[in-house]
Amino acid sequence: MAKRTLNRRQGWRVNKIQEERLARAAKREERTLEELDGGDLGPEQHGLVIAHFGVQVEVQTEDPEHSGQTYRCYLRANLPALVTGDRVVWRPGNQGLGVIVAQLPRHSELRRPDSRGQLKPVAANVDLIVIVFAPLPEPHANLIDRYIIAAEHAGIRPLLLLNKSDLLDPSGASRVHSLLETYHTLGYPLLEVSAYSGDGLEQLQAQLNDQVSVFVGQSGVGKSSLVNRLLPDTDTRVGALSALTGKGTHTTTTARLFHFPAGGQLIDSPGIREFGLGHVSVADVEAGFIEFQEHLGHCRFRNCTHEHEPGCALLAAVAEGHINPQRLASFKHIISGILSEQY
């Protein structure tokens, strides 16, 4: 059935109803916050945001006497938006509620544009971004490159993780390993695991210990399955691939932080199908292609498109085997997308 199109008056009415509902919800939250502020709040203490639920966040206390206890907390109106991984100063109240009074400085931040093009933090204080992909949905260099650029831009170390390695057939294995060899040659760490059989999970756990890590990747690559194997008590819902599209169905609805018994933390974030890069510049993309560095700026023409111009340093590097042709194609595709969004 075709989606119904609203006329101008109907659209205005729908927006007005939504605004009124939001205003009523904000009033309720404001009254609750006033009641908490007016009551007997406990002393200030440090905490860790382990999940975000609209106007509330779930905070885990770092007080040694109450280690591991969690509180649903409201935010003071003067605070910026918080995300999973933030460290905060908060005060406990009654009935498991609390109030966040300050946000502590972040040492890293993973951000991406939302549907309106506005930058939105998705995780804070991350040390390692684990880029998860699988034989199905079929991995594409362009998407992996986007994640690597995002990691380089945020100053977060990337780890490439091939999940569902047990599903590789001979033809698929040749194609995937050819793709992975490009990144291995560039020095990016790479692991192959299977959440189903358990192969490679010990090596993965060793990489995650003593780090704050975040899993990113398309829906359907098995991020939730990996979390369930690494942390059996989490019971993260697992979704199957869509039979129609071959893409994953979204199962994790909010980014949540988990603790490993041996140390370190994992943030399981919602699956996304394409990672927007509208918030980075052309220079940021160039920095994300590390093997391009010695060749950039040496083209004969200043406005070289790296397509067919004589004296193009990147095309010469491809011809000499210093740059993989797929990486150059991915680079040009990403640059073209960013420039088209700017104009």
CATH number for the domain that contains residue 318: 1.10.40.50
Hey, what are 253's tokens?
């609805």
∠ CA 26-32-33, nearest 5°, is: 85
Same domain for 242 and 325? no
Q: Is the pLDDT reported for residue 183 higher than 90?
A: yes
Let me know if residue 274 belongs to a domain.
Answer: no
Tell me, letter by letter, the H, E, C secondary structure of 67-103.
CCCEEEEEECCCCCCCCCCCEEEEEECCCCEEEEEEE
End-to-end CA distance of the chain: 35
Same domain for 170 and 286? no
Phi, psi for residue 165 in degrees, rounded to 5: -60, -20
Let me know if residue 116 belongs to a domain.
Answer: yes
In the three-class reduction of DSSP (H, G, I as helix; E, B as strand; rest coil), residue 149 is classed as helix
Same domain for 79 and 119? no
Let me know if residue 31 belongs to a domain.
Answer: no
Tens digits of per-residue pLDDT, 277-289?
667 788 889 999 9
Q: Is the pLDDT reported for residue 58 higher than 90?
A: yes
CATH number for the domain that contains residue 237: 3.40.50.300
Same domain for 320 and 199? no
Same domain for 127 and 45? no
Residues 6+ apart with CB under 8 A from 251: 219, 224, 236, 237, 238, 239, 271
Let me know if residue 227 belongs to a domain.
Answer: yes
> Can you give the residue range of the structural domain that contains 330?
282-342
pLDDT confidence of 135, banded at 50, 70, 90? confident
pLDDT confidence of 216, banded at 50, 70, 90? confident
Q: Is the pLDDT reported for residue 296 higher than 90?
A: yes
Taking residues 166-177, report their average pLDDT: 81
Q: Is the pLDDT reported for residue 22 higher than 70?
A: no
CATH number for the domain that contains residue 59: 2.40.50.140
Let me know if residue 35 belongs to a domain.
Answer: no
Let me know if residue 20 belongs to a domain.
Answer: no
Taking residues 194-207, report their average pLDDT: 92
Tens digits of per-residue pLDDT, 303-333?
899 999 999 999 999 999 999 999 999 999 9
Same domain for 121 and 219? yes
Same domain for 257 and 323? no
Q: Which of 56, 85, 105 is the last residue of a domain?
A: 105
Rg of the chain on CA atoms, in Å: 23
Rounded CA gap, 288 and 286, in Å?
5
Residue 278 is predicted with a pLDDT of 60
Let me know if residue 223 belongs to a domain.
Answer: yes
Q: How many domains does the chain have?
A: 3
Same domain for 187 and 55? no
Let me know if residue 10 belongs to a domain.
Answer: no
Rounded CA gap, 15 and 7, in Å?
12
In the three-class reduction of DSSP (H, G, I as helix; E, B as strand; rest coil), residue 336 is classed as helix
Same domain for 133 and 229? yes
Same domain for 128 and 264? yes
Tens digits of per-residue pLDDT, 101-124?
999 999 998 877 766 767 778 889
Same domain for 134 and 213? yes
Of 95-104, 111-120, 128-137, 155-164, the range with the lowest mean pLDDT is 111-120
Q: What is the chain's mean pLDDT, rounded?
A: 82
Q: Which of 55, 89, 105 is the last residue of a domain?
A: 105
Q: Which of 90, 105, 120 is the last residue of a domain?
A: 105
Same domain for 130 and 255? yes
Residue 244 is predicted with a pLDDT of 37
In the three-class reduction of DSSP (H, G, I as helix; E, B as strand; rest coil), residue 198 is classed as coil
